[in-house]
Structure 1
Amino acid sequence: MDLETAMMAVQSNRANLLEAQLKDQIASVQAKNDQISKLNQILGSLNKAAAGVASDAKAGDKVDMSGSAAELKSAAASAGITLPPELGAEKSWEVKLRDGTTHKVDEAGKKEADDYKSKNWAFRSSDYSGKKGIASITETTPQPTKGQLDGFIQQVKSQIDSMSNSQQMDMLRLQSLSNKRNEACRTAAVPSSATCAEITRTRAPANPRESPMNTKNAPVSIPDNLPEQIAELLTNGGTLGSVYDYDDTDYEVLYALGHSLYSQTRYQDAMRTFGFLVTHNHMEKRFMNAFAASLQMLKSYKEAIKYYSMASLMDMGDPLPTYHTAECMIALGYTAEAKEALQFVLRQSDTPERAELKSRAQAMLELMNSAKSSTSTSTH
């Protein structure tokens, strides 16, 4: 696969991801629309109850909710809202018998009690002496006060306002995703799904330098002002990729592609891929190291040193970029500077996980010292 085809595959994959995000966003907007509609039903029931309250009623006065209780309860259940006890209580009555016994009953029990009272029958008892006759039937349904009703109305209004504001933001995101999806579809020449899958399945090694190397390629020319451009972006705290709405998925696919090219010794194409990543996301150390490694393999040692140095600045505790900087310095004949860099690597490589790097740096330093001693001996 050539680089252009791979880049088109990235765009195609991005379009598919945006399509999925767009569907999720549409579903989210629809769900909020439904919830707002249900909350408005609750508000309508509450306002209906509030309309029956006298204009001069005080906050502590009881409010008769019987006319809207069933409607309110149904709307609350549909919206998944738990009503306060005083608003959502079932109607209830207390049936008091002549001997002082009481029974709590619902609407069905109330009808039964009315029937038994009219016939002077014993209520729910086999004692027909008259003691179990019904003395009174009193409604005991909890009723909210005007203050409680007004408070709950304001609470529901606040929920509606909050969801409406959130919905406006969702609509903006929906429009943004739609624009991104349309742009991706316009700019991508869509390859086969197998091609996209092949790129996505590619996995990069942790260190690009573990791949096969070929140092026979000719040096490559890099724009002189590229480091300055990257430094300016870093100073401003943004990335060029954010302007084009690139995300982590886009970067990782290209990063894997770059390593694949590198492992095939296609260093020119790898450099272009990693250069794209560095330009669009200069905050990622991996991209900086990979770009520098490609430049080194293309014998652009001075340029490689620049980007290894930037990678070192991004993580002062990682001596690996400094080690590769020393390699470039040796290739350029900067022996003293290379030794200084290797000594720094040795000081930074005391941990067990860096034992191999320390050994390599020590061996390189000893080789340089040995070469210098041999040169001095032959001179004398």
Structure 2
Amino acid sequence: MNSPVTNSGGVNFQAMLATGDIQTLIQMVQSERVRLLDTQLVDQVKAVQARNDQIAKLNNVLSGLNSVLARAKDTNATTKINDGNWNADAVKDIELPLNDQIRELGIDNLTGNSNVGGQCTPGPGMPKDGGQGHSIKGSSVISGNSTRGEIEAAITKVKGMIDAESNNQQMDMLRLQSLNNKKNESIEILTNTQKKHTDANSNIIRNI
């Protein structure tokens, strides 16, 4: 025996079709479609906002890397940054926040040199064992021990990441626009259907 077809609200579509209540059925379908599109729009807006936040954070990293590069003594790729102007203020103002941002984003193998040691802001339970921050080491750590070549490589990588995120952002915006257009179309269909239903009922009443 076949079960009656219902929606999540428990409405029997077969019964409505059998009674010829097509207008109400169309209104229900369009109302549900608008609701679903609303949910998708909210999710898509959140995705766009998250992408914007990611790009903003990557731009902060890029700005920090450029600040490090500006401290380099010369154009020799193997020259360490601390051979130039790298002092306690540079650690506090550049190194700590930059390494914090890199760690937050989870950027892997930024410089290609896993032997570079530096500092980040100590988190809960982390010792302040680096002078001004917590000592860290790895291929995504930036400090005065980084070379000009490593910083330039990191800048190139981060620029590539920003470009990729920007391309994805454009796709996100296109999808957002498409969802918004579909929602507007569904609202228009729903409004027209409701008007036809109201007009039909008004005609019936006038003819009574």
Q: Which residue of 2 aligns with 1:53?
A: 72
Q: Which residue of 2 aligns with 1:79?
A: 105
Deviation at residue 79 of structure 1 after TM alignment = 2.9
Q: Map 1:87-98 to 2 at 5 A.
A: 89-90=118-119
Structure 1 residues 31-51: Cα deviation after superposition (integer angstroms, max 9, x where no partner): 011111111111111000101
Q: Assess if the C-alpha contact under 8 Å between 2:69 and 2:151 holds in 1.
A: yes
Which structure's CA Rg is the greater one?
1
Match of 2:185 among 183, 186, 189: 183
**Within 2, Cα distance between the matches of 1:12 and 1:87?**
59
Q: Which residue of 1 aligns with 2:50?
A: 31
**Within 2, Cα distance between the matches of 1:88 and 1:6?**
67
Deviation at residue 74 of structure 1 after TM alignment = 2.2
Q: Assess if the C-alpha contact under 8 Å between 1:86 and 1:144 holds in 2.
A: no
User: One-letter code of the match for 2:28?
Assistant: A
Match of 1:107 among 131, 141, 147: 131
Structure 1 residues 185-235: Cα deviation after superposition (integer angstroms, max 9, x where no partner): 1211599xxxxxxxxxxxxxxxxxxxxxxxxxxxxxxxxxxxxxxxxxxxx
Q: Which runs of 4+ in 1 moved over 6 A?
A: none
Q: Map 1:111-122 to 2 at 5 A.
A: none
TM-score (norm 2): 0.61
Q: Map 1:1-380 to 2 at 5 A.
A: 1=16, 2-54=21-73, 56-64=74-82, 67=90, 68-82=94-108, 85=114, 89-90=118-119, 106-107=130-131, 143-189=145-191
Question: Which runs of 5 or more residues in structure 2 are unaligned?
Answer: 1-15, 121-128, 133-142, 194-208
Secondary structure at 2:174 match in 1? helix
Aligned pair count reads: 145
Question: Which runs of 5 or more residues in structure 1 are unaligned?
Answer: 92-104, 109-140, 192-380
Alignment CA distance shift 1:87-1:76 (3 Å): farther
Deviation at residue 86 of structure 1 after TM alignment = 5.4
Q: Assess if the C-alpha contact under 8 Å between 1:73 and 1:88 holds in 2.
A: no
Q: Assess if the C-alpha contact under 8 Å between 2:80 and 2:144 holds in 1.
A: no
Deviation at residue 15 of structure 1 after TM alignment = 1.0
Secondary structure at 1:89 match in 2? strand
**Within 1, Cα distance between the matches of 2:69 and 2:56?**
20
User: One-letter code of the match for 1:47?
Assistant: N
**Within 2, Cα distance between the matches of 1:73 and 1:35?**
16
Alignment CA distance shift 1:88-1:160 (3 Å): farther
User: One-letter code of the match for 2:100?
Assistant: S
Q: Which has the higher contact order (CA 8 A, sep 6+)?
A: 2
Alignment CA distance shift 1:190-1:70 (3 Å): farther
**Within 1, Cα distance between the matches of 2:151 and 2:41?**
40
RMSD of Structure 2 on Structure 1 (CA): 2.7
Percent identity, please. Answer: 41
Structure 1 residues 314-348: Cα deviation after superposition (integer angstroms, max 9, x where no partner): xxxxxxxxxxxxxxxxxxxxxxxxxxxxxxxxxxx
**Within 2, Cα distance between the matches of 1:23 and 1:77?**
29
Deviation at residue 169 of structure 1 after TM alignment = 1.3
**Within 2, Cα distance between the matches of 1:6 and 1:32?**
39
Deviation at residue 88 of structure 1 after TM alignment = 6.1
User: One-letter code of the match for 2:172?
Assistant: D
**Within 2, Cα distance between the matches of 1:88 and 1:171?**
40
Secondary structure at 1:90 match in 2? strand
**Within 1, Cα distance between the matches of 2:152 and 2:45?**
34
Deviation at residue 176 of structure 1 after TM alignment = 1.2
**Within 1, Cα distance between the matches of 2:163 and 2:35?**
34
Q: Assess if the C-alpha contact under 8 Å between 1:9 and 1:190 holds in 2.
A: no
TM-score (norm 1): 0.35
Alignment CA distance shift 1:87-1:178 (3 Å): farther
